[in-house]
């Protein structure tokens, strides 16, 4: 980001013409409530996040991007993932990240950045909160995970989330792609809205888009590096808890 600095000559003239102001007491910036992110670990994060979620609840967040706004509802029955997302949003963590993996017709993933200014986080992980009533329809919000060979518990990432896209599927196609039974209502949604049933049961779905699904579609259309699917032009975000 470009920073405009006053010329040194101007500063010298101002100093000569004006007496130095008296020093005044400064107040430290307010400390935001909640656990210290840097101290959280796989084992301590669940209890700390559950306590934070009870004390500082929230239910909706707003993503602001250069392509538009996305409003998201977070689910109550995935309380650890929900509280984690609220905590990081309120701390401004996501505001320093971009949509870093975009696969047209499948999903757009965010939560990382290549910039050196990124807030350094201890990469604590979250226990899975996979629920049979939550599934990967178009617009579902899920949490990514990594290193399955070294992560047999399938612990979720703490920062890397994704919006599901997918395509419309007949009931037979959805059943064939899914690894778990789907209800008639879920089959109907896959047929009318679309989604990715192959992900059901493997990743935690903890929210859904309520407004701005067209913006998710726009993000999915941006040109990307064919090797890592990183957009050629970064799509950043500002995430705010609105309710």
Query: Is residue 26 one of the residues assigned to a domain?
Result: no
Residue 211 structural domain: 33-241
Q: What is the CATH number of the domain that holds 234?
A: 2.40.100.10
Taking residues 75-79, report their average pLDDT: 98
Domain-embedded: residue 80: yes
The 3-state DSSP class for residue 54 equals helix
Model's pTM, two decimal places? Answer: 0.85
Contact 130, 137 (CB under 8 A): no
Cα gap 233→193, rounded to integer Å:
29
Within a domain: 7: no
CA 183 to chain CA centroid, Å, is 28
Q: Count Cβ atoms within 10 A of the Cβ of residue 42 and give its class: 0-12 exposed, 13-18 middle, 19 or more buried.
A: middle
- Count the domains in the chain: 1
Between CA 100 and CA 222 the distance in angstroms is: 11
Above 70 in pLDDT, residue 230? Answer: yes
Which pLDDT score is estimated for 147?
80
The pLDDT tens digits of the residues spanning 93-127 come to 999 899 999 999 999 999 987 654 444 455 799 99
Confidence of residue 30 (pLDDT cuts 50, 70, 90): low
Q: Which string of DSSP letters, residue by residue, matches 128-197?
A: ----TT---BTTEEEE----GGG-TT-PBPSS-EEEE--B---HHHHHHH-SS---HHHHHHHHHT-B-G
Domain contains 14: no
Residue 35 has pLDDT above 50, yes or no: yes
* For range 172-188, the mean pLDDT: 97
Specify if 12 maps to a domain.
no
Whether 29 has a pLDDT exceeding 80, the answer reads no
Asked if pLDDT for residue 223 goes beyond 60, the answer is yes
Structure-model confidence comparison of residues 204 and 121, the more confident one: 204
**Is 76 a domain residue?**
yes
The answer to whether position 148 is within a domain reads: yes
**Residue 203 located in a structural domain:** yes
Distances (CA, A) of 78 to 104, 119, 195, 202: 27, 25, 20, 14
């Amino acid at each position: 980001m470009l920073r405009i600095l006053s010329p040194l000559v101007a500063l010298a003239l101002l100093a000569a013409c004006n007496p130095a102001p008296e020093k005044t007491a400064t107040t430290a910036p307010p400390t935001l409530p909640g656990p210290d992110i840097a101290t959280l670990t796989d084992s301590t994060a669940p209890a700390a996040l559950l306590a934070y979620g009870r004390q500082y609840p929230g239910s909706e967040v707003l993503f602001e991007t250069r392509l538009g706004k996305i409003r998201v509802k977070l689910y109550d029955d995935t309380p650890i993932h929900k509280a984690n997302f609220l905590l990081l949003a309120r701390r401004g963590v996501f505001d320093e990240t971009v949509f870093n993996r975009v696969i047209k017709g499948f999903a757009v993933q965010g939560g990382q950045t290549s910039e050196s200014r990124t807030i350094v986080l201890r990469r604590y992980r979250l226990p899975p909160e996979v629920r049979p009533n939550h599934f990967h329809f178009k617009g579902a919000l899920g949490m990514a995970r990594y290193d399955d060979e070294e992560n047999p518990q399938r612990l979720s990432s703490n920062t890397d989330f994704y919006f599901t896209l997918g395509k419309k599927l007949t009931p037979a196609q959805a059943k064939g792609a899914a690894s778990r039974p789907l209800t008639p209502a879920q089959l109907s949604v896959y047929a009318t809205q679309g989604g990715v049933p192959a992900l059901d049961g493997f990743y935690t779905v903890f929210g859904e888009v309520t407004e701005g699904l067209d913006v998710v579609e726009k993000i999915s259309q941006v040109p990307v590096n064919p090797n890592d699917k990183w957009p050629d032009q970064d799509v950043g975000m500002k995430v705010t808890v609105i309710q």
